[in-house]
Chains A and B, each alone.
Chain A
């Protein structure tokens, strides 16, 4: 499995603003997943985008995938204080491994101020 690198490391915004986080990876993938982790809790799956998809939406979340640049972005619109968490990307499927052997980076720590 390969590790995604999230950028920025930390992001601080006001409630109502949009938050954009980026992820880069190194080799080909079958899919890429985004997860959220609140302090002291397990990861929560947000979105899975397949390699043949370019964009996917789920509520206030929008994920894009550019396989030519080996990058993905997660946009959270109209952020809320409850969105405060760490966000991780997990590219999957390199080398024929598509099961849940994911490698997580340090993540982006998002802080949304009320």
Chain B
């Protein structure tokens, strides 16, 4: 049973380009979460999605960032016009149920903006 799969593992973008990060949740999981980890900091919640719906995006920057979890296919975190401050590790997690359910994390995508 494959775990949470994220790709790419490493992504390098120049300032102003777009970054697209993909996440396939564990089989049977329909709850997906995105977290960001800046250097020397803990993980910060960004967004919570269920299939085709954004449930909570309170941790997402208001501009340039968007997330989706379509009916078919992986969840996508999209960052437009990247800036150096977007350089971080982005982790996706999934859970089986909404409440009181442990999160299963992928190994992250390390975004470097040059």
Contacts and interface: CB of A to CB of B under 8 A. Distances in A.
Contacts of A92: 100
Contacts of A40: 107
B100 A41 contact: no
Contact of B104 (A45, A50, A88, A105): A45
A100 B43 CA distance: 13
Interface size for chain B: under 10, 10 to 19, 20 to 34, or 35 or more residues? 20 to 34
B19 interface: no
A42 B45 contact: no
Contact of B48 (A35, A50, A101, A107): A101
B4 A42 contact: yes
The secondary structure that dominates the A interface is: loop
Given A31-B100, A42-B108, A44-B105, A101 B42 contact: no
Interface residues of A, number: 27
A91 interface: no
A71 interface: no
A98 interface: yes
Nearest to B32: A100
Contacts of B98: 98-99
Given A98-B99, A101-B33, A101-B56, A106 B41 contact: yes
A43 interface: yes
A93 B101 CA distance: 11
B41 to A, nearest CB: 7
B93 interface: yes
Interface in B70-109: 91, 93, 95, 98-108
